[in-house]
Amino acid sequence: MTPAGDTGAPRPAGPGRPGAGTTSEKTPQTPGAPGSTEPPETPETPEGPSDPEAPGPASPAASGPSGSDAAPPGETGGPGTGEGRAGRFWSVRRVPAAVVALLLFAGTGILLYDAASVRAGRTGMAWRRTLTDELASRRLDDVFMLAGAAVLAALGLWLLVLALTPGKRSLLTMRPDVPGVRAGLERSAAALVLRDRAMEVSGVQAVRVTVSRRRVRARATAHFRDLARVRGDLDGALRSGIAELGLARRPGLAVRVRRPAKRRGGEDDAADC
């Protein structure tokens, strides 16, 4: 006996409902076929499975350091910290430029005023007439002519030196540890730091430190301990202090140790380096 509304005729199988004579078990489906929920298996090749996230062969543009692909400073392939050239600071030269500008302005103004006076029918200035007569009558080998030419040549040479040299000799350039930042240290400040470091050495009574662009000179007096040991400790302390200053060009070191004047004598009265 069939339920009401069922004629007993087989119904066509549709999506989501089993056909006539089928069971509730699912039939195995081929991976990758339409309607399958399982992902298709990836065929293996002799080189290994193809992974979409695996790194592929590097292109020549990405592997080279040129262009925008170059490694930044501090990373592998880039310049390390403290490397690179650090040039000296250039002086503005305000005082020489102001002096030359004022002299040229004053001389040009006086000459223009005298020329305008002569054109207006007045008599020229006496100094200009005298200078014109002297230049017209004196020979080129005259002493005054040679002296004036030497003064003008020295002035021009001085201006060329000021234009071609950086100046600021009292400022020491520090290492470019931070990109885009330039730092400098005054010589007096560096000498003060090294003097404080030298005074920490046992046996040093007084010390005088002078710092130049190429050398650091220390002259110390020791009132006890052997002079050779004091000089060795002072040399090590000053070399460590120079390294900690962070200068782009590390200067040399010259150390001289002596006894005080009232105790000087014997064979160990001085130790130089």
DSSP state letters, 108-129: HHHHHHHHHHHHTTPPPPHHHH
pLDDT at 261: 82
17 forms bridges with which residues in the sheet?
14
Chain-centroid distance, C-alpha 127: 55
Q: Are 159 and 100 in contact (CB under 8 A)?
A: yes
Q: Using the structure block, give the residue that is written with the tokens 């262009």.
A: 67
* β-bridge pairing 252-258 and 215-222: parallel
pLDDT of residue 17: 45
Distances (CA, A) of 226 to 102, 204, 218: 61, 11, 18
Instruction: Supply the pTM of this predicted model.
Output: 0.53
Residue 35, token pair as written in the block: 């309607």
Per run of 10 residues, the mean pLDDT along the chain (length 273 residues) is 45 45 42 48 45 44 39 39 63 85 92 88 84 84 90 90 85 84 89 94 93 93 92 94 91 93 56 63
pLDDT score, position 115: 87
Over the stretch 32-75, which tens digit does the pLDDT of each residue have? Answer: 444 444 444 544 444 444 444 444 444 433 343 333 333 344 34
Task: Kindly provide the residue ranges of all beta strands, DSSP E only, lying in the chain, ordered along the sequence.
Answer: 171-173, 184-186, 204-211, 215-222, 252-258, 270-272
Which pLDDT does position 273 carry in this prediction?
Answer: 62
